[in-house]
Amino acid sequence: MKHIRPKKSLGQNFLKSHTALTQIIAAGKLNKKDVVLEIGPGKGALTEKLLEHAGTVIAIEKDTNLFVYLSEKFSDEIQEGTFILLNDDILDFSFSNYKIRETKYKLIANIPYNITGAILRKFLSLETQPEKMVLLVQKEVAERIVARDRKESILSISVKAYGTPKYIAKVPARYFSPAPKVDSAIISIENISKAHFASIKEESHFFELLRAGFAHKRKLLTSNLSHLGINTKTVLIECSISTQARAENLTLKHWICLSKKL
């Protein structure tokens, strides 16, 4: 395995911290009935812990060399049927492609950072959403998701529209091999559902409005939404939003209210 060079293009930064692994497992609140979906198992550091604590682990690894390595490393678990290892791109993955019965599952992974946004979008908006996620992401992205500076963003509101994000812990860059340029952090997203949306139409309307509201971040919301052609100011007042507000000042509740009225 020493001879397989980490591929930068695939975001390969392997976790080597026992502390971080323990924190991820604890945040997952795993039991032996759980099905876990892992993205990018790499050399299997997290996979090993997941197999210890969960019932079944399904892992999707894009790198064929790593896939072959993992097939050998976990051959017993694969035979037992507690580990399902797939050589695929997570962004193309669907349960039905593999005839895997869709069940309740938790998404737990140290993901390739270059596709963080795509992974969040895919799994939050999926028909069969995970019941919870525990992800290792860039620290700055983790902070943006929970709006640590109290400024909301498209990212934070998009996540909150489906679940409750929580910042778990910082993971310093030196805990990875090779060390990435920036620090990372573990986040969890609990209570995942589509309860805020009565239909797909409502869901897509919500995101259209959100994108419009954030189109020019420094502008007032009234100006970003003025193209909607109705009296936006009145609607803002009805939703208890200041007419001087910028998109970053609005909570999820505000956006939900706006999307019902605009």
46 is a site residue for ligand SAH (CB under 6 A): yes
Instruction: Give yes or no for residue 89 binding ligand SAH (CB under 6 A).
Output: yes
**Residue of minimal Cβ distance to ligand SAH:** 40
Choose the stretch contacting ligand SAH; rule: CB under 6 A; options: 84-92, 147-155, 157-165, 210-218: 84-92
x/- contact string, 92-111, with ligand SAH (CB under 6 A)? ------------------x-
In the list 34, 61, 152, 248, the residue contacting ligand SAH (rule: CB under 6 A) is: 61
Under rule CB under 6 A, residue 11 binds ligand SAH: yes
The DSSP-derived string for the chain is -TTSPPPGGGT--EE--HHHHHHHHHHHT--TT-EEEEE--TTSHHHHHHHHHSSEEEEEE--HHHHHHHHHHTHHHHHHTSEEEEES-TTT--GGGGTPPP---EEEEE--GGGHHHHHHHHHHSSS--SEEEEEEEHHHHHHHTTTTS---HHHHHHHTTSEEEEEEEE-GGGEES--SS-EEEEEEES---TT-SSHHHHHHHHHHHHHHTSSTTSBHHHHTGGG-S-HHHHHHHTT--TT-BGGG--HHHHHHHHHH-
What part of residues 139-198 is at the interface with ligand SAH (CB under 6 A)?
none
Minimum distance from residue 109 beta carbon to ligand SAH (Å): 6
45 is an interface residue for ligand SAH by CB under 6 A = yes
Interaction of residue 41 with ligand SAH, rule CB under 6 A: yes
Residue 200 touches ligand SAH, criterion: CB under 6 A: no
List the interface residues with ligand SAH, window 223-262 (CB under 6 A). none
Site residues, ligand SAH (CB under 6 A): 10-15, 39-43, 45-46, 60-63, 66, 89-91, 110, 112, 115
